[in-house]
Amino acid sequence: MEEIARAKINLALHVRGREPDGYHRLETVFAFAEHGDLLRASEAAELSLRIEGPFAEGLSAGEDNLVLRAARKLQARLQVGKGAALTLNKRLPVASGIGGGSADAAAALRLLNRLWGVGAGEPELLGIARSLGADVPACVLSRPCLGTGRGDDLAPYDASAVTGAPLLLVNPGVAVSTADVFRGWAGRDGGPLPEDLLSAHNDLEEPAKAVAPVIGDVLEALAAASGARLVRMSGSGATCFALFESEAERDKATAEIAAAHPHWWQLASRLG
């Protein structure tokens, strides 16, 4: 069996405040690309993980990996006596603002729920996901939703205006620390999310550009592309994205950016 760990996109992200425990209150719109990492699983007596793919280098396949942590928690919660041989094809860059380990952990919960035939519903999977990280619940759903609180209080969101839109993700090859970006937040309330996504923003763009100025170059390159209707950074960076009017315009932008910046990572997809 296999499951796609779809890349997470923050169509908007407003930081509303900082809590005494150090966490930040957010309002964000989650959406997901059609593509991402790929997780495969087969039956086995014990749990194991192997990592392959273009971004596998340097990643630990040990017990600290979120995929195995998710698997262990599902085992314990539902008292599963089975194991699984897991293989993660790491196609998305690490520490890049598009889900990464959170999407992989969420894929593990969905995949093992099927492989083991335990029949856990979304509420049960979401309960496990919340113990793994703020983005993991949204990644379990992998459909448009509104995230509040730390980002893990979820509500349905109507993203029909952009669903299916041609999407281009671009990362300049720089890993950005989420903690460093949040530390750079100016402390101003970003205000509630407007109904019109085009009027929203990502409050973490400026502190992320202070950490990695090349993010500004990526945003400029995407904004200059013909047919780009929404250009923004996702999460805490460094991946940025553009939604396009047509696949032809997206593909033209992909080729132009690849020619000008051959070392930047790109993924042409659609918004699911």
Residues marked as catalytic? 8, 135
Strand partners, 59: none
Please tell me the distance from the alpha carbon of residue 111 to that of residue 86, in angstroms, as a whole number. Answer: 10
State the burial class of residue 19 (Cβ atoms within 10 Å of its Cβ: 0-12, 13-18, 19+): exposed
Task: Determine contact, residues 189/31, Cβ cutoff 8 Å.
Answer: no
Task: Determine contact, residues 239/99, Cβ cutoff 8 Å.
Answer: no
Cα Rg of the chain, angstroms: 18
Mode of pairing for the β-strands spanning 47-52 and 83-89 = parallel
Pick from 172, 240, 218, 254: which is nearest to 13 by CA?
A: 240
